Every structure is written in C-alpha cells, then in structure tokens.
Amino acid sequence: MMHLIEGGGKRLRATLPWLVGKAVGDSHSGLLDIGAAIEIVHNFTLVHDDIMDDDDTRRGLNAVHIEYGLPTAINAGDAMLAIAFERLVGAKGLDHKDVGAMVNRLAWMVRRVSEGQQLDIEFEDRIAVSEEDYFEMIEGKTAVMFLTCAEVGSRMAGADDETIQCMADWGLAVGLCFQLMDDLIDVLSDSDTLGKPAGSDLAQGKRTLMVIHALSQSDSSELDNLKAVLGKGEDATQEEIDLGLLALNKIGSVDYAREKAEMYHSKAHACLDRLPDSPAILALRELTDYQLKRIS
C-alpha cells in the first residue's frame, strides 16, 4: 500500500481541499484528513489502473503488480479504498450531520472514476470514439476527483452555494486541463522524465483527444503511420511509436489538444477571478498555471 505513496507524486489531491477551504473562508480542521482520503483513493486507482492498462512503471518505480505480483496489487488497492473511507469518517471535527454527505460524495467519486476508467477500457476496442465520448471519459476518470476536492473543501469551509459551485467549476476545468496535459505529456516528454515509457498510450490504443482528432482527418497521408502503431501493444517498435507520434504532430492533433487544454485553463482562471485575492487564491492560480507547464 505504501509503495507508490513513497514514490512521491504531486500530492495535489491531498492538498487541494485544505487550500480551497483557505481560499473561500475559514477552512475546517478536517480538510487535511479529507485530502488524505482523496489522495489515498487516487493512489488506489493508480495501483489498479496500472494492472488494467498493463503499465509496468509508475513514478520511476515498478508498478505495484510488477513489484509484488498481481494478487497482492489487487488486494492492496482494495484495502487502500477501505482505509480512505476510514480516514474520511475519522476526519478531525467532522460533524455528525455532515458524515453521510461526505461518504456519499467520496463513494460517488470512486464510482465515477470507475465509470470513466471503463469507458477508457472500452474505447480501446472501438474505432468510432467522438470528442464528446472522450470528455465524458476524462471527466469521470480524472476531473471528478479535482471537482470533489474543490467542492468538499469549499463546502466544509462554510462557503455559500454560489462559491461552492464556482470552486466545483474550477475543479472540473482544472481536472480536464490536467488530463489533456497528461495525454500531451505522454506524447511530448521522454521516458526518463515521465517515469514510464513515452508514447505508451499510442501503442496501447488509448483514444486520447489527439488520436480522435487525427482519425477524423481522413484525408491526411500521415494517418497510415498512426494506424500502424495504434493498439499494437508490446509488439510496437520504438520506430513505429516515433512515426505515430510524428503523425499526431504533423496532422495538427497535438496543437488541437493543446488549444483545448488552454481553453480549460482559461475557464479555470475565470472561476478564480470571481473570488477575492488572498495568498490561497494566488496558490490556486499558480496551480492552475502549473498544469500547462508541467512535464511529468
């Protein structure tokens, strides 16, 4: 259970509820516990996702199922999810009347993540995946976790409904930007920086926005290079992967996805602009900008 956590990670989700709480009001003593619960859920999803996606490395370490074997990895993930709920209901200063709503929210989040992950799995075997499908998938798989951090943080800190909605919108936009950038980084970064093989999404047949965009440009001569590697899995050579990545660039799909990421980045900022300035808001602005700059 500690393997990936000790590997580091950005720990964004651990910090966000507390930070959002600070940004909107008086904060709440339980928000670090709630952040811990969400971060544990996040790490649980990584343990299981690496099995589902057949990824061998994560955070520069062996994935848990590589290090400890498949049964232990499945089981460790399950226990982590249980511990997240234990941590949540044990949150400092959590009022009886709020426990049900909080547990419901965390459980809803986990279910939405599973639904997004399931779309991700099913898209690999489908040719026709639309942009709309893609955004539905990443909203579940990635963005609801940010949304939940922001919503729970502002609600627990005593914000009014309008402010809670504003922060939830920010979380959703940042989360969508985050996943778009995650897909871009897989294409643009190198394996050492990533802590996992670059271009692996392509070989695995992941329907990223770039791939969806490229496949819709039916007149491009570059498409064959993309189709040659898409979903080829472990049989894909490095040369094939590189040609596929180059195709995404030449077709303009990388730029297309980057523009979408920038659009959600702007949307996220527009939400923050509605709140009064404070050190916490400044941190949220930096965190929003960081999504576009990060390389891993």
Query: What residues make contact with a copy of itself under the rule CB under 8 A?
Result: 45, 48, 51-53, 70-72, 74-79, 81-83, 85-86, 88-90, 94, 96-97, 99-100, 103-104, 106-108, 110-111, 114-115, 117-118, 121
* Cβ pair 92, 33 in contact under 8 A: yes
Q: How far apart are CA 194 and CA 183, in angstroms?
A: 11
Pick the closer one to a copy of itself by CB: 58 or 260. Answer: 58
Nearer to a copy of itself, 70 or 282 (CB): 70
Beta carbon nearer to a copy of itself, 46 or 271: 46
Q: How far is the CB of 45 from a copy of itself (least distance, A)?
A: 8
Instruction: State the Cα–Cα distance between residues 81 and 53, nearest whole angstrom.
Output: 19
- Shortest gap between Cβ of 52 and a copy of itself (angstroms)? 4
Sign of the Cα torsion 12, 183, 197, 231 reads positive
CB of 19 to a copy of itself, least distance (A): 25
Evaluated on CA atoms 283, 288, 291, 293, the torsion sign reads negative
**By C-beta, is 56 or 115 nearer to a copy of itself?**
115
- Nearest CA to 91 out of 155, 2, 169 is that of 155
Torsion of CA 32, 185, 4, 18, to 10 degrees: 0
What's the min distance (Å) between Cβ of 140 and a copy of itself? 11
3-class secondary structure, 190: coil
Q: Compute the least distance from the CB of residue 116 to a copy of itself, in Å.
A: 10
